[in-house]
Structure 1
Amino acid sequence: MPEQIKLNFSPDLSLNAEGKHVRDGLSTAMLTGDNLWLSCDERTSIERLTRLPDGAFGKHRSFDVHAYLDLPAQNHSEIDIEGMGMADHYLWLVGSHSLKRKKPKRHDSIAKQIKRLAQIKSDPNRYILARIPILQDPETGDYTLYKEVAHPDQPGKMLRAGQLRGDRTSNLLTELMEQDEHIAPFMNIPGKDNGFDIEGLAVHGSRIFIGLRGPVLRGWAMVLEVEPEEDEAGILHLKQLTKEKPYRKHFLNLRGKGIRELRIHGNDLYLLAGPTMDLDGVIAIYRWRNALNGDMEQVVHNNELERLCEVPHGTGENSGKDKAEGLAILDDQRVLVVFDSPMEERTVGENDVLADVLRIGEG
């Protein structure tokens, strides 16, 4: 049984419009100092918890993303935030950019259930790659989000929220992917069907690494790398990274797994990887050593990836539960993993949930 840490959520901030609790859909996790940042896949907010004296995280505060960004559908559609990262006083976030296939409902007629499986839905707010200024309060130590704020180290410079050019049906990234030789055939396929599906984001300076849960190509997962640049209107565009295109593709042989989360530690990239399809399967954490050292597209074979540990997941009667989605670096030896659809024994009371602490190093 792994070590566990309790996450305390406020009852006043934890339910979305449909009554789903934030703890039941955690999709990404990031640690900045004593603040643990989390998102739920069916909300338009980012949650901040603070480390408590007993080692748990609490003092829940919720930040409504549409207060900082111009969401395509405002707050009427989930963002499906699947990745967060931080660099240079900006918190970066990314939506899944994926399509959804409707689920059959057992109480419906057979004909209606079959019809639902043919219906594909797009949520406008999923098409977002954005940054929000984030500064640490020197008195409390807490990090806070701002729409616009003075740069703490460069007098006269302002930090301001911005996002990649886009609309209700696409953005610059998906437009590029629709022309990509590897990804284009998967752009009209729902995420859970091995279609295009972003899960995971990590930031190093100006470099943004984006993990793809799908597509997985003959067992190979992909990481996209981009470098957004801001224009005078505050809209983000993508710097030309290769002779042909404004992004790089890195291919990693995860033997059929897609990427669920990315985290940078030193020069290494940690990958939380699991099934790309909607099924139970092994979830594990890998280390891609020296991933940040190069400026070329990479093909990383399986024996070049270090498999650090396996992550528990629901099976049997608990099939479809305890799906590891978020990964935060605690220190050189330990990571924190949060789960979507937690099992009953992972929930505590009405509002709390247990996250796992896994060891990834010696000692």
Structure 2
Amino acid sequence: MAKKIMLNFKNKLSLVNEKHVRDGLSAALRTENDLWLTCDERTTIERLSIQKDGSFADHTSFEVADYLELPASDKSEIDIEGIGMANNYLWIIGSHSLKRRKPKRHQSIKKQLQRLSEVTTDPNRYILARIPILKNEATGHYELHKETDNPKNHGHTLRAAQLRGDTTSSLLTEVLQNDEHLGPFMNIPGKDNGFDIEGLATHGSRIYLGLRGPVLRGWAVILEVEVEEDEKGILHLKKLAGEHYYKKHFLNLRGKGIRELRVFGDDLYILAGPTMDLDGVIAIYRWPGALKGKTEHMVHHNELERLHEVPHGTGANSGKDKAEGLAVFDEKHVLVVFDSPTDERKIGQDGVEALVMKVIDYPVIQV
């Protein structure tokens, strides 16, 4: 059974170009009493805090450009599709994807055909970055910093940093261009089964990136990378084995792409759904023991645990209630947030319902 939980935003912090943050939630992460959320059409990270009635409110918005040097300074969207936390850093990832323009029905057929042929991108999408995050013991809330002392290692500075990149690519896309599996998809728009990052999870120094696309013969892809910082504070990919800067893990999700990843114990929780722009089954899986191995994996379908199917829009609500964010809520539950929520999921002017779903019947130590 899924339990509904209310997320209440502040109107004055939530509207950008008349779109409300609750209409584009794309990632979620819980840190004790705080819930961190992103909207795919903004350059901000939102923080809500738990209330006595179990809801989340007390909305605070953090502008990413206050901590990082975005490739474009015009506030173009980052399309943040994944967030994670490790070693006093909050990690964020942009989709790194291209997009095909949508035809508009009121236009002429010629114009619609022209729009459908146009492929564009947002220059801030090519970002993999970290921002120091520490708990303020006086308030009980976690806060972001551009630079701060490491409380676990005094004298060592924590500072915001990002992977080398620009408005059209990053070091990650560059090293993938010649990959035998992913290279052919790097210049294809995400919603056309092209390259599209939509999940991030961290475990120590390891960063896991879930790909919504491409899906290869039903197999989804998780990339594993590590980074190292140079003397100028720029992040670079670390060589993991031989000359390779990344590992690839293939999972047979029977045609579904990855929407979000979460680490719990030695396992990975996976939110999976359609890679194309369509309604379809969205489900939560567990990959048991995912973090134990050090090699690349081929994970067959019977090696995955299918935990829940998540509701999605159909019929009159086609294209709505697209589950995109997954947070570990507690040791037995996860929280799911939705892009394009239905009117029934919206409450009042600034509220929206998320779902809390039980995924485990025995205690696991979270790391």
TM-score if structure 2 supplies the norm length? 0.97
Q: How does 1:31-50 map to 2 (within 5 A)?
A: 31-50=30-49
CA contact (8 A) 1:263 1:329 kept: yes
Measured against aligned partners, the alpha-carbon deviations of 1:257-302 in whole angstroms (never above 9, x if no partner) come to 0000000000000000000000010000000011110111111000
Q: Distance in 2 between matches of 1:350 and 1:229?
A: 44
Measured against aligned partners, the alpha-carbon deviations of 1:136-192 in whole angstroms (never above 9, x if no partner) come to 011211000000001111111100000000111101000011111100100110000
Partner of 1:294: 293
Letter in 2 for 1:38: L
Q: Distance in 2 between matches of 1:331 and 1:159?
A: 28
Does structure 1 residue 127 correspond to structure 2 residue 160? no
CA contact (8 A) 1:257 1:274 kept: yes
**Identity fraction in percent:** 67
CA contact (8 A) 1:261 1:273 kept: yes
Q: Distance in 2 between matches of 1:141 and 1:156?
A: 24
Letter in 2 for 1:201: L
Letter in 2 for 1:306: E
Measured against aligned partners, the alpha-carbon deviations of 1:198-235 in whole angstroms (never above 9, x if no partner) come to 00000011000000000000000000000011111000
Q: Distance in 2 between matches of 1:65 and 1:174?
A: 22
Aligned length: 362
Pairwise CA distance, 1:109: 0.6
Q: Distance in 2 between matches of 1:4 and 1:264?
A: 23
**Is there any run of 5+ residues in structure 2 with no aligned partner, and where?**
363-367
Does structure 1 residue 213 correspond to structure 2 residue 212? yes
Pairwise CA distance, 1:75: 4.1
Q: Secondary structure at the match of 2:173?
A: helix
Partner of 2:323: 324
Pairwise CA distance, 1:2: 2.5
Give the root-mean-square deviation of aligned CA atoms: 0.9
Q: Secondary structure at the match of 1:12?
A: helix
Q: Distance in 1 between matches of 2:274 and 2:260?
A: 12
Letter in 2 for 1:120: V
Q: How does 1:199-278 map to 2 (within 5 A)?
A: 199-278=198-277
Partner of 1:11: 11
Q: Distance in 2 between matches of 1:341 and 1:167?
A: 29
Q: How does 1:338-357 map to 2 (within 5 A)?
A: 338-357=337-356
Q: Distance in 2 between matches of 1:336 and 1:80?
A: 21
**Is there any run of 5+ residues in structure 1 with no aligned partner, and where?**
none
Q: Secondary structure at the match of 1:344?
A: coil
Pairwise CA distance, 1:239: 1.0
CA contact (8 A) 1:66 1:75 kept: no
Partner of 1:79: 78
Q: Distance in 1 between matches of 2:74 and 2:358?
A: 38
Q: Distance in 1 between matches of 2:341 and 2:197?
A: 21
TM-score if structure 1 supplies the norm length? 0.99
Q: Distance in 1 between matches of 2:237 and 2:121?
A: 24
Q: Secondary structure at the match of 1:117?
A: helix
Q: Distance in 2 between matches of 1:107 and 1:186?
A: 32
Q: How does 1:113-192 map to 2 (within 5 A)?
A: 113-192=112-191
